Amino acid sequence: WEIGYIDKLPQYMRLCFLALYNTTNQFAYDFMRDKGRNILGYLTRA
């Protein structure tokens, strides 16, 4: 999940990528805040 490569995506895919990227990071942040575990690595591999 390299946000820097977003410029190489077609315009119509950028919105989808950003939505998925932001949702995944927010979910991982909330989980870490509540449970104390970082699951971002697992989510990005799923």
pLDDT band at 3; cut points 50, 70, 90: confident
User: In the block, which residue shows the tokens 């946000």?
Assistant: 3
Nearby residues of 40 by Cβ (< 8 Å), 6 or more positions away: 24, 25, 28, 32
* pLDDT exceeds 80 at position 1: no
What pLDDT, in 10s, does the model give residues 13-44? 999 999 999 999 999 999 999 999 999 999 98
Q: What is the pTM of this model?
A: 0.78
* pLDDT exceeds 90 at position 2: no
